[in-house]
Structure 1
């Protein structure tokens, strides 16, 4: 009948207020051009763990074989991991987040944009929305893009994290040092063309949110 067994996609749970804010935000940005989106410096943090196995793995088994070793998948309660912002690892809180920007974002932004203005994007994580963080951006004259909550589908950097993590599955790092080196190597292998394509997808992402009336999209 055309049905297939598949692991459901995981999307953020959005309440009615959040959906409305997403829809309003997308409507406001509906006529932004790719050139305007190119002025936005997108950011995000991502957690990388030592195990990169397929979380949706399946096994073929017979009745009574459920607990057999060949039918089990091992898990680690607290796997070694590293939190990464861009190309650096950090334990993210308001203070360290601002320090990260002081030493890494400002030099990167200057290299990317020179003396031109740019808009900085980050999500609504507590470290990002702290009053001291807002003051830091104001003191440094940085324009911050307003951002709807629970909207990873609107942030193209999420796709870059996926690319990096797919590459790490092949690298199979065994130590934290190997993991960090593999992350840096994978990130460095991302081409400018890939970044340009993702930025160019922003108008389509906006239209998708509007069509979905604020609900999660395919992105």
Structure 2
């Protein structure tokens, strides 16, 4: 076998990593590495430990929280958490990555990760943290324009998936 045809790999137990993150129109908040499968209890813990800290980091006096319709996000205990903490959340269609600006960031970071995959969870988190900051510093994404472009595309496609969707399913 020719060595130029061989690529070394590192195997993970399970092969996937989940990261919780948040953002505003001008910067990014905290990132949390999620170990295993996230359940509503872990999600609530992440919210407790990160929402207010992230809002402070982002210099937000008030904000509207966007969550998708994943069952752990819509659980009664989570809905009550938002009520108890006086945080309004945006009504959001299920499985709608076309409209979700953070999905664009995750996709870009995954593409950047492929050529030089990290070998440890610490390296993964460093990659995501550095990448999120890089994204805001270099791309100057305008969140409202981002969503306006996608909304036009969804309307043009009569609600069917858009070309943007395929970038997020890698």
Q: Deviations over 1:10-43 (max 9, x none)?
A: xxxxxxxxxxxxxxxxxxxxxxxxxxxxxxxxxx
**Could you say if the C-alpha distance between residues 140 and 168 of structure 1 is closer, same or farther in structure 2, counting changes exceeding 3 Å?**
same
- Residue 17 of structure 2: SS of its match in structure 1? strand
- Residue 110 of structure 2: SS of its match in structure 1? helix
- Residue 18 of structure 2: SS of its match in structure 1? strand
Q: 1:176 aligns with which of 117, 121, 132?
A: 121
Corresponding pairs, count: 147
- How far apart, in 2, do the equivalents of 1:143 and 1:195 lie? 26
Equivalence for 1:93: 39
Q: 1:81 aligns with which of 16, 24, 27?
A: 16
**Could you say if the C-alpha distance between residues 156 and 138 of structure 1 is closer, same or farther in structure 2, counting changes exceeding 3 Å?**
same
- How far apart, in 2, do the equivalents of 1:175 and 1:140 lie? 35
- Residue 196 of structure 1: SS of its match in structure 2? coil
**Could you say if the C-alpha distance between residues 79 and 129 of structure 1 is closer, same or farther in structure 2, counting changes exceeding 3 Å?**
same
Q: CA RMSD in A?
A: 2.6
Higher Cα Rg, which structure: 1
- How far apart, in 1, do the equivalents of 2:50 and 2:73 lie? 16
On the 8 A contact 1:209/1:215 being kept in 2, the answer is yes
Which residues of structure 1 form unaligned runs of 5+? 1-69
Greater relative contact order (Cα < 8 A, sep 6+): 1
Alpha-carbon shift at residue 198 of structure 1 (Å): 3.9
**Could you say if the C-alpha distance between residues 77 and 118 of structure 1 is closer, same or farther in structure 2, counting changes exceeding 3 Å?**
closer
